[in-house]
Structure 1
Amino acid sequence: MRAKYINPFTDFGFKKIFGEEASKPLLIDFLNALLPQTNKIIDLNFKNTEQLGQTDSDRKAIYDIYCENENGEKFIVELQKAKQNYFKERTIYYSTFPIREQAEKGEWNYNLKAVYCVGILDFKFGDYESEHERSEFVHSIKLKNQNGKVFYEKLTYIYLEMPNFNLSESDLETRLDKWLYFIKHLEDFQTIPTIFSDEVFTQAFEKAELANYGQADLDSYENSLKTYRDLKGVIDTAFDEGKSEGKIERSVEVAKAAKQMGLSTADIIKLTGLSESEINQL
């Protein structure tokens, strides 16, 4: 049966639902479902998704979505389709850009605005320490000291491990439950479930319905969908086989396949962690 709605794990689908100016109400609602009740977002401004280092030799950071709320707090929202080497390290590195850009010239008291890094993962971490952790689908992380007390409140990493989200429609309780159910099953829906009856989700389904797209958008989506399927297969195979060459060699293999599929250098950097010069030499 032909899909009625886009796959939100594609670059096109994710940005269509959450990354366009008209999608702000959807992104705000989604982020508010993740945040504490006392820290609700009223408005957002999209910022440049390409962040540059302080010198020409510094690496770049290219986000899927980068935005700022009315209080100046920063939000990075990333869709990660498959495992990659040093994924956690890349997230930490990305979080340094919205921190450094807050520096002011002249005298400055170092009072920083909060930074939130949200990762929607289409794979499992795989380094669990308990059966309970193995089943969790929301991982919220802050800097803590040796006693488990939060050392710094203004830096938060939230990972949504989508393969662990297995709630049925009848089990959905929270707003976040509904959003994760929407994201995970959107491509499979032929009709809108009754749980999605409010205005925000009505708009989300309208944004996601393929019948509402012109030919140019349909072509872009089909290309994005093919890239998602091909690339996910390449990356999953490279990691599942546990190749003896090691992490760097696997990254090179993935990068070569990605170049053959016509992915941009920026996307290959995100997927592999290789530098631009390393990719250009392949």
Structure 2
Amino acid sequence: MGLQYVRPKFIAVVVCCLVGGIIGESHGSFLMKDLVDGMKGLTLRSKPLLPKIQRRSFATSPKLFKASEPWIQSAKQVFGRPTYDATVKKVLANDEARLDFIRTFAKLPDVVSTQPLDVSLNPIRRITNLKELFKAKGMVEYMENVQQQPSQHKVMCDNNMSILGSTFLWGVAAHYGDLLSLLPMERDSDVDILCRLSTDEYVLVEVQVKKQNYWDKRALAYASAIYGNQLREGQEWEDLKKLVCINVLGGGPDNVRFWPQGAHFMRHYIIQDQKDPQNVIPELQLIQYSLENVKGDEEELQQNKNLKDWLDYFKNAQDMKEIPSGISTGLHKAYELSMRKDFSAKERALQDEQDNNFSRYSHHIDSMKMEALEEGIEKGKTESAMNLLAMGIEVEKIAKATGLSEEKILSLKTEKST
């Protein structure tokens, strides 16, 4: 009957009337009026609703959820996290945003246009089809069989090509293991942006979401593979063009620094003569930006506002509610493209999936740390117990001192004696 809407004062009146005579006559008219008014609210019809903005559901009360739940965070977000795959691809696919980004991060202010490239310069992607062929189901077993019984496997043709075909098949089978080992491993992400610039140079962009071990080696491997893959048959060495590899290194949802606290937020690697620093080979460069090492008051950022604004975008956009004022048109476009309300269902799903993945990753790391701590404590107790046993201390006293059970200490004693 909708009793949850009855006021406490009305309930008190009903109780007083039931006990009878407790309230004074002078108060009776007011209490009876409250009783009558309250009865008007009790009906077998649908119960009255609170104003829409005041409704509360037990199942959806924000107090029942942790603010760190990914889907709650994403529901509040105006912009997607800029270091996530879906956002990076969407932003850097735009000509205006990409040009502003590359001019700023690659330190190439004279660039007037950028042309995204296909897989023609990326050997890791270019051999994907070859890898799928070599690792097709049953292929390894088949090649082993050809190697062991070559006479049973011949290329059937109507001309002399059958001899060459069979020779080739047997040769491939003999070196099949070596060929497999030459194929590079699968990449962890697919956030490469490779461009040819109006200055006839190349830029490779890698945006890393969270800290990874050996990132410098990986970044150099990516850059050098693309640099060395420029030449085609018939081209000369002079046709090799400069390649600048840009790394934007995020800290993930846990805001982990790539470099130690106090380290500068940028590192610029170039091949340099250690005897005479004036001698450099600028053809292959690696420029890295660690977002969590940015303090914001660095002199370089005071002199380069656009770089400061872009770094702020990559680091904090997911927590902002509106596009900042006074930023470049290219960065403004990046913010516009990052708005979650304009994401497709697939893009939103990718964002939420990465949120969930990193949440599980963080919980996993925390649990591993806790397990390691517990193991260390347990190991310390065991070592203490062994030392006390060696000193001839009684088992009961050792148990009290270390917190280990007497059964555990007796087993240690047995192990020691054996």
Report if the CA contact (8 A) 2:250-2:315 is conserved: no
CA drift of 1:241 comes to 9.5
* Cα distance in 1 between the residues matched to 2:218 and 2:318: 29
- Name the aligned partner's letter for residue 103 of structure 2: N
Counterpart position of 1:149: 278
Counterpart position of 2:320: 189
Aligned in 2, Cα 1:12/1:238: closer, same or farther, shift over 3 Å? farther
- Name the aligned partner's letter for residue 158 of structure 1: I
**Cα RMSD (Å):** 3.2
Counterpart position of 2:266: 138
Structure 2: runs of 5+ lacking an equivalent: 1-72, 131-178, 252-256, 374-418
- SS of structure 2 residue aligned to 1:27: helix
- Name the aligned partner's letter for residue 191 of structure 2: D
Report if the CA contact (8 A) 2:111-2:197 is conserved: no
2:224 aligns with one of 81, 85, 96 = 96
The equivalences for 1:194-213 within 5 A come to 194-196=325-327, 198-213=328-343
Correspondence 1:3 to 2:77 = yes
Counterpart position of 1:266: none
Identify which of structures 1 and 2 has the higher relative contact order when contacts are C-alpha pairs closer than 8 Å and 6+ apart. 1
- Name the aligned partner's letter for residue 113 of structure 1: K
* Cα distance in 2 between the residues matched to 1:60 and 1:52: 13
Aligned in 2, Cα 1:88/1:240: closer, same or farther, shift over 3 Å? farther
Q: Deviations over 1:138-176 (max 9, x none)?
A: 1111001113234211111000011111217xx755211
Counterpart position of 2:357: 227
Report if the CA contact (8 A) 1:10-1:228 is conserved: no
* Cα distance in 1 between the residues matched to 2:324 and 2:266: 23
Aligned in 2, Cα 1:122/1:88: closer, same or farther, shift over 3 Å? same
The structure with the largest helix share of the pair is 2
Counterpart position of 1:17: 91
Correspondence 1:32 to 2:162 = no
Asked which structure has the greater CA Rg, the reply is 2
The structure with the largest strand share of the pair is 1
Report if the CA contact (8 A) 2:98-2:114 is conserved: no
Percent identity, please.
Answer: 18
The equivalences for 1:54-93 within 5 A come to 56=180, 57-60=182-185, 62=187, 64-65=191-192, 66-93=194-221
- Name the aligned partner's letter for residue 277 of structure 2: G
Counterpart position of 2:347: 217
- Name the aligned partner's letter for residue 58 of structure 1: L
- SS of structure 2 residue aligned to 1:51: helix
Which TM-score applies when normalising by structure 1?
0.70
Which TM-score applies when normalising by structure 2?
0.49
Q: Deviations over 1:53-110 (max 9, x none)?
A: 6965231575522222234422221122233332211111111222222123136234
| Count of residue pairs brought into register by the alignment | 232
Counterpart position of 1:160: 289
Counterpart position of 2:393: none
Report if the CA contact (8 A) 2:102-2:108 is conserved: no
CA drift of 1:27 comes to 1.6
